[in-house]
Amino acid sequence: MDLQELRERQSWTLRQKIDHSLGVIDQFISRLNGQVYVGFSGGKDSTVLLDLCRIVKPDIKAVFCNTGNEYPDIVRFVRELKNTEGYDIEIIYPTLKPAQIFEKYGFPIISKEVSEAIYAGKHNPLSVKGKAALGLLRGRKFKGEIPLKYRKFIRSQFDINNKCCYALKKQPSRMYQKNTGLYPILGTMASESRLRQQSYLRQGGCNSFDGKTIKSLPLSIWLEEDIWAYIRDRGLKIADIYHKGAKRTGCMFCGYGCQFKDDNRLQLCYELYPKMYNHFMNYTNNGVTYREAMRKVLAVNGLFLPDEKPKTLFD
């Protein structure tokens, strides 16, 4: 699988993509003798995925990880489906709560790649990742250098790290897989990020049966517009948060992408759930609040928190 082939598949019609995904799902279920589950986040993508999987296997199990960092609309939607006849949905939980993870590892801010690089540059500067983060591997093809405008956060009192997603989502899912012997069908798309595109190309297709990475990604070649078209065509019910203006869901107070002007996550949280917003903003790392850290990161791009005025940005 190369990038050109991926682009060709992404240009297919929705009908072609649906047929492809149903074939991917059927192959995965058959190869593993039905020992599979759907990783169900409650978001629009995984709602489409679950619908496709139920076409192939109506009684398929779905698993939702309630991280403690979910939109109330998402949790409510998942519980409604769980109580709907014909759906088999199990809810699991991480070992640690978001506040504990923020304090232990650092804040999830900017992006997974940049936050990992900042942490490596700050705590492991002599490692390969640390040297790459600090730009000390000139002339070598090694990604992971911290963009100049974010390099100052190496000296911050608070930590920035990408461990949050692992602790809240990946670890509980892996434990579930280990304890049950079931393998995951996930709703990620290659178009979502450069990392996911690279991962898909390395995997070589939508299904992987390679040792530790046995998983299915039936939506890999889909695009955002395909998801919405499928939802319209099938008349699927989705979580109410999308009707309230959410562009993406995921963890409610994840800071990844909030530094962009077109990201409305913080504004939406503040308007809809002000108590939860203030609660999360008071989480700490090394004595620094999430509010203080987020404020400084947003300021790099001339942005500010929705409940603060620009003139009080650095008060």
Strand-pair category, 207-210 with 213-216: antiparallel
What is the rounded CA–CA span in Å between residue 283 and residue 108?
A: 12
Query: pLDDT (tens digit, 9 = 90+) per residue, 227-254?
Result: 999 999 999 999 999 999 988 888 898 9
SS3 (DSSP) at 89: strand
Residue type, 245: G
Does the structure show a pLDDT above 70 at 265? yes
Burial of 55 (0-12, 13-18, 19+ CB in 10 A): middle
pTM over 0.85: yes
Phi/psi zone of residue 185: left (φ > 0), alpha (ψ -120 to 50 degrees), beta? beta
For residue 15, the tally of other CB atoms under 10 A from its CB is: 9
- pLDDT tens digits, 4-54: 999 999 999 999 999 999 999 999 999 999 999 999 999 999 999 999 999
pLDDT at 58 over 90: yes
